[in-house]
Amino acid sequence: MVLPTRHREYSVFAHVEKKHKVAYDSSMKKGFVVHKADSNNRVFMPSKKGLYFSDVKNDTAHVMINTVDSIKSKYTVKEYANARKSCSIQGIIGRPATKDYIKYIEKGLIPICPITKQDIIRAEDILGPNLGSLKGKTTCRTPGRVTINTLDDLPDRMLEEHGNVTLTVDIM
């Protein structure tokens, strides 16, 4: 499988070869084996359409991530529906931070609101933090203007003695 880049072409397979030993024998099998440093071997077989894959169904060496479906199975249908409603209301009222949103609910600042603090906590557990809220509060701000002081105000005698000094500053 070859992927084009801006200036050259390279193989994804070549990246694997840089880190691991790869064995490929087309006469025995149609796949290849990647030998990892921790002595685990990973077998890649081609699919019907030619894309190579590794079957990890019965493999305990992989770390699986939690999906929304797996997390929402911990809750009832009504609790999940209220969590979704909580996200919807959070978007309608301007995507406040979760702490602020909970305060609004606890103090009754949102009239006729059908959700509770627990619904908000469930929503964050199931769906994660509100991305719109995070994006709006983590914007990059333009730094202030840099002013350069010139040597016009110095006496001529000082400029003659020390005029060839260059001072540079780098702020990280």
Residue pLDDT tens, the chain, 172 long: 444 444 444 466 777 788 888 887 776 667 788 887 777 788 888 888 877 777 777 666 656 666 777 888 889 999 999 999 999 999 999 889 899 999 999 999 999 999 999 999 999 999 888 887 777 666 677 888 877 766 566 677 777 777 777 767 777 6
Contact (Cβ atoms closer than 8 angstroms) between residue 60 and residue 72: no
Taking alpha carbons only, the member of 83, 166, 63 closest to residue 126 is: 83
**Rounded to whole angstroms, how far apart are CA atoms 150 and 166?**
12
pLDDT on residue 43:
80
pLDDT on residue 8:
44
pLDDT on residue 151:
58
Widest distance between CA atoms in the chain: 87
What does the DSSP assignment read for 136-170?
HHSPPPPPPPP----GGGS-HHHHHHHTT------
pLDDT on residue 107:
93
User: What is the pTM for the complete model shown?
Assistant: 0.45
Taking alpha carbons only, the member of 131, 118, 42 closest to residue 83 is: 118
Query: Tokens 């030998």, residue?
Result: 35
pLDDT on residue 7:
41
- Give all strands of the β-sheet with 32-35 in edge-to-edge order: 21-24, 32-35, 41-46, 52-53
Domain residue spans of the chain:
2-53, 68-137
